[in-house]
Amino acid sequence: MADKPLLPETEAACSLVGGWWERRGLPPGGPYVCDFPARDARKICTDNRQCEGRCLVAADIAKGSPALGSCSDSIRTYGCFKQIEDGVVQHVCVDGT
């Protein structure tokens, strides 16, 4: 299992981990949050717990299907996407924080 990194809560701390500080979420102009590159980006995975961020799959793979995915490029993932939990594709929507 991957260690989930601590999420910096200030712009200065975000900068120290090579991250970007930006507004995210709904409604538009939500809170500022830090996002930064995942060290395990694009590693093959079968569950979110194997990634610093999320275990993602292509949008055209059916929900409920068994699948292999790859770890997200960054720690935070927003919007609607498909991820793998316990080897099975799930559809998820995340609005920001």
Separation of alpha carbons 11 and 41, rounded Å: 23
- Quote the tokens at residue 76: 């935070």
Q: What is the dihedral of CA 83, 95, 28, 71, to 10 degrees?
A: -30
Report pLDDT digits (tens) over 74-96: 999 988 999 999 999 999 998 86
pLDDT for position 97: 57
pLDDT digits (tens, 9 = 90+) for 35-60: 999 999 999 999 999 999 999 999 99
Q: Take residue 36 and report the two structure tokens written for it.
A: 């930064």
The Cα 59–Cα 19 span in angstroms is 26
- Tell me which H or E stretch contains 35: strand 32-35
User: Domain extents for the chain?
Assistant: 11-94
Single pTM value for the model: 0.87
